[in-house]
Structure 1
Amino acid sequence: MLAINEVIAAGYRSLRHIRFPVGPLSVFVGANGTGKTNLYRSLQLLQSAASGTLTHDLAAEGGFDSVYWAGRRSAGEPVRVRLGVCLSGDGAGDYNLEYAVETGLVQAAGGVVLGAGFKLEPQVKAETLVYEAHRRPKKLLDRQGPRGHCLDEEGVKRPLGGEILPSETALNSLQDAAAFPDLHLARRTMLEWRFFHGFRTDAGSVLRQPCLAVTSPTLASDGSNLAAVFATLAHIREDTDDLDQAFNDAFPGARLVIPEPDRFATFGVVFPDYPKRVFQPSELSDGTLHFLALAGALLSYRLPPFIALNEPETSLHPDLLEPLARMIVAASRRTQVWLVTHSEPLADAIARHGGVSPRRVVKQKGETWIDGLRLSGDFAEDENEEA
């Protein structure tokens, strides 16, 4: 799998134009309303490009009236949302892929829509995939409007043709892995990213229900296979040491019970005040259940190549922030972890345990920015990191 080196977003909500690096553990902290969630959402939309749902997901956000940069812009500036990501091979710094996609409104003249599409639907205007090895870039995918081409494994240009609609991405449409291996690798990597933006913990939550007993090395984004993730650790991998330590760290004296499943998998908790009673998921507090879901996301048998967390501290008691920080740092040793939070205590705890200083998200004249970020896309020297 490939790691994320850099993210680019322009014209999306409060992100006028921003390019920033991403490391093994990235923490962004800021007040409500600064645009932290827009940073998170831009990564989700890149995954949507890989799954082929980008224009649908933009439309679901309210269309371009809602998602496009609403601040001051130059006269005649095209209405475009541009998203991009730079990926590199693990341990291969000379192998890089940069994917970028631009979306805009359908072309119209005299109130008449030109080409295939509805009047207000978002459409893909441009799409590129650039391969760089030994500092020699090669454009593997180059799409401009309805036309474009893609280089196959032999280096031969293949026209995209008319089979790809303006509402579709070439990244998702060109699924011949043998002909387009780099495109396939980029798409597969992005599809395996996981985004965790809170978990439902109400009475009807999937976290409170048994799930099918199917080996589950990775937690689903909604947590629906949490019991199976725990059962996989306990009865397939036969190693719950990290999970047990994290749970005892958060709830001293308590014990997580993971029975061997039959058709369904489940779990329970024994608390020190009631040593002979197993509390089922339906009986657990929202905070306890939320922490367990985060444990499933961060300590599962096989972590995805990238984990994004949006305000994971929600509904957690302050005493649980230190244990959560330790889980996040531990996960970052196995995969990339990226999170946004407005909790200063959580950001400080991650800095203590992980040695990574949080980046502060601010808003300047309606534009989301990151303190210390240069226009060139790198951060100014941090005295604490130098020390």
Structure 2
Amino acid sequence: MQLRSMFAQNYRSLRSIRMDLWDTTLFLGENGVGKSNLYRALQLVQAAVAGRLVHELAIEGGMLSVLWSGTRREAEGPARVRFEVEVLDEERAITFRYRVEVGLRPPKAAAGFPLEPQVKAEELVVDHGRRPVTMMKRAGPAISVRDASGRMRQYPDQALTSETAIALLGDAGHFPEVAAFRRVVANWRFFHGFRTDRFSPLRQPCLAVTGPMLDEDGANMAAVFATLVHTREDTVDLDRIVAAALGGARLVVPLPGETAEFGLSFPDFPNRVFQARELSDGQLRFLGLAAALLSYRLPPLVALNEPEASLHPDMLPPLADMIAEASKTSQIWIVTHSTQLAEAVRERCGVRPRKVVRENGATWIEGMRLTGVIAGESDDED
């Protein structure tokens, strides 16, 4: 199932932006233009599916912090943050469209806290190619859902303003379309750098539990490497890329006992294995990206926010090689301000970087029409 388009409105610098997406989507922009808000908007859709959307917005400072602060027209109605995604199930030729809107509590309302983000509306539509069918619709606390007979009915429970209907219905276990959409979005992975301080999870041994894919904080990185080395027994791509990026280094992964560990062996010190706690920040971050992009099983979507951070320029071509390899089986979303990385990804994946700019205070994509299509984009796959 592939993410085909996204829409965000009134979220931070995203005034109103809709865009079509590809197998590999590459955003390039200077600091401060709001490109990370694109990444975060998609991450918040996943939070809605998990039932954590209001919590995540509260962490950002609540509605007064996340709402678009520029000029608004009176005809637009109440100020709300709105997110939409369109996901295509290619095998079954089914398109899922999900929308969620969050706003402030009305001044005289009794439910909820005064400045708490509140879920106002949601909708999940399924399109089988004949006509779109609404599977779930939420307005305020009331939820309507399509039952097995195809009729819309009121769901017996009402949603709190802090809850999403998509999470409530998914947990109920009676709505297969909702469950299918939740399952694919829940498996998206977002990697926004990795901690590299002395207490970083990447520097610690982890439990010896098979790791098919990397956790977002990288805490199971040693288990991911151990799974590749001792379960799949195929590390050709991993070994080649580690050697290219880290001066001929070799990844050393002993058979796990109670914990899984790893280290690096360098040509200048052939009899010494440098443990994770001894590695530089750049070395450790590159290995985190390697675990994310070359794991035993890749998620349906991998989103990388400024993956070039702390990496030496010589590491960027091997990073682009990993991105190209991962793009064969996963959808890749990259946000970067490195023209070198963008060019390397373009060469390997055949995708044109989408330049993120500011127009009248709002984040926009250079050359993009209001429909979300970018002029000349059909020429990308030459």
The C-alpha deviation readout for 1:175-232, integer Å capped at 9, x for no partner, is 2575211111111111111000000011111101100000000000000000000000
* 1:175 matched residue in structure 2: 170
Instruction: Kindly provide the amino acid, as one letter, of the partner of residue 230 in structure 1.
Output: F
Cα distance in 2 for residues equivalent to 1:16 and 1:268: 46
* 1:88 matched residue in structure 2: 88
Cα distance in 1 for residues equivalent to 2:192 and 2:314: 21
Aligned pairs (5 A) from 1:291-306: 291-306=286-301
* 2:97 matched residue in structure 1: 98
* 1:6 matched residue in structure 2: 5
* 2:327 matched residue in structure 1: 332
Cα distance in 1 for residues equivalent to 2:378 and 2:25: 17
Contact in 2 for aligned 1:125/1:166 (Cα 8 Å): yes
Quick check: 1:349 aligned with 2:348? no
* 1:200 matched residue in structure 2: 195
Cα distance in 1 for residues equivalent to 2:155 and 2:305: 37
Cα distance in 2 for residues equivalent to 1:163 and 1:63: 23
Gaps of 5+ in 1: none
Contact in 1 for aligned 2:84/2:97 (Cα 8 Å): yes
How far did residue 16 of structure 1 move?
A: 0.7
Structure 1 runs of 4+ with >6 Å offset: none
Residue among 283, 290, 295 paired with 2:285: 290
Contact in 1 for aligned 2:351/2:381 (Cα 8 Å): no
Contact in 1 for aligned 2:11/2:82 (Cα 8 Å): yes
2:170 aligned counterpart, secondary structure = coil
Cα distance in 2 for residues equivalent to 1:142 and 1:24: 30
The C-alpha deviation readout for 1:78-102, integer Å capped at 9, x for no partner, is 110000110011344x310000000
* 1:50 matched residue in structure 2: 49
Contact in 2 for aligned 1:153/1:179 (Cα 8 Å): no
How far did residue 115 of structure 1 move?
A: 3.8
Cα distance in 1 for residues equivalent to 2:44 and 2:346: 28
> How many residues end up aligned between the 2 structures?
381
Cα distance in 2 for residues equivalent to 1:381 and 1:38: 25
Aligned pairs (5 A) from 1:89-168: 89-92=89-92, 94-109=93-108, 114-168=109-163
Cα distance in 1 for residues equivalent to 2:289 and 2:233: 20
Contact in 1 for aligned 2:136/2:145 (Cα 8 Å): yes
Contact in 2 for aligned 1:218/1:302 (Cα 8 Å): yes
1:292 aligned counterpart, secondary structure = helix
The C-alpha deviation readout for 1:121-164, integer Å capped at 9, x for no partner, is 11111100011011410111111112230112331323134432
Contact in 2 for aligned 1:153/1:178 (Cα 8 Å): no
* 1:229 matched residue in structure 2: 224
Quick check: 1:79 aligned with 2:79? yes
Residue among 240, 245, 249 paired with 1:250: 245
Cα distance in 2 for residues equivalent to 1:72 and 1:29: 26
Give the structure-1-normalised TM-score: 0.96
Cα distance in 2 for residues equivalent to 1:178 and 1:219: 27
Instruction: Kindly provide the amino acid, as one letter, of the partner of residue 180 in structure 1.
Output: F
Quick check: 1:211 aligned with 2:201? no
Instruction: Kindly provide the amino acid, as one letter, of the partner of residue 79 in structure 1.
Output: A
* 2:354 matched residue in structure 1: 359
Cα distance in 2 for residues equivalent to 1:386 and 1:205: 40
1:234 aligned counterpart, secondary structure = helix
How far did residue 340 of structure 1 move?
A: 0.3
Instruction: Kindly provide the amino acid, as one letter, of the partner of residue 33 in structure 1.
Output: G
How far did residue 380 of structure 1 move?
A: 1.3
Residue among 164, 179, 197 paired with 1:184: 179
Computed over aligned residues only, the root mean square deviation of the Cα atoms, in angstroms, reads 1.4
Cα distance in 1 for residues equivalent to 2:7 and 2:201: 34
Cα distance in 2 for residues equivalent to 1:53 and 1:116: 18
Cα distance in 1 for residues equivalent to 2:211 and 2:333: 22
Give the structure-2-normalised TM-score: 0.97
Q: Percent identity?
A: 53
1:279 aligned counterpart, secondary structure = strand
* 1:61 matched residue in structure 2: 60
Residue among 235, 255, 261 paired with 1:266: 261
